[in-house]
Amino acid sequence: MSPKNDESKVKEASAGSRGQKLPILWETINTFSKIIVTLLGLAVAIVSYYSGSGFLISSIRAAAAMLGVGFLLWLIYWMVVKGSIRMMNDLARKQEEFNTQNQNGFMEFKV
């Protein structure tokens, strides 16, 4: 095998993985989390500024609110992703066990 062929395979594999998207549940949670954090930051900054705080204090309050809520939403997203990956691994393992049991059963009938 020439190094050129290896490089082309790597490029094809990476090009194919770029087009893949996350599952719809993950995309939805991630998108809504970003929207919620952004709107919350804007709301906190606007309310804080109009209540008489300076620009710097309003910005600090908005940043703190965005960090806190962003962390909580990221934690929820992480738990959903971890749970769905675990669920898919369990389903794949059960399917594999089922297939091996059926394959062994058919082999017994052939003999």
pLDDT of residue 98: 86
Domain count, the chain: 1
- CA distance from start to end of the chain: 43
* 65 in any annotated domain: yes
Q: What is the pLDDT along the chain (111 residues), one digit of tens a residue?
A: 455 555 555 454 444 456 666 688 888 888 999 999 999 999 999 999 999 999 999 999 999 999 999 999 999 999 999 998 899 899 989 988 888 888 765 555 555
Residue 69 to residue 64: CA distance in whole angstroms = 9
* 5 in any annotated domain: no
* 45 in any annotated domain: yes
Residue with tokens 């710097």: 56
pLDDT of residue 63: 96
> Do 26 and 80 meet the contact criterion of CB atoms below 8 Å apart?
yes
* 88 in any annotated domain: yes
Q: What's the predicted TM-score (pTM) here?
A: 0.64
Q: Is the dihedral of CA 37, 38, 39, 43 positive or negative?
A: positive
* 82 in any annotated domain: yes
The parent domain of residue 79 ranges over: 22-110
* 74 in any annotated domain: yes
pLDDT of residue 74: 94
* 15 in any annotated domain: no
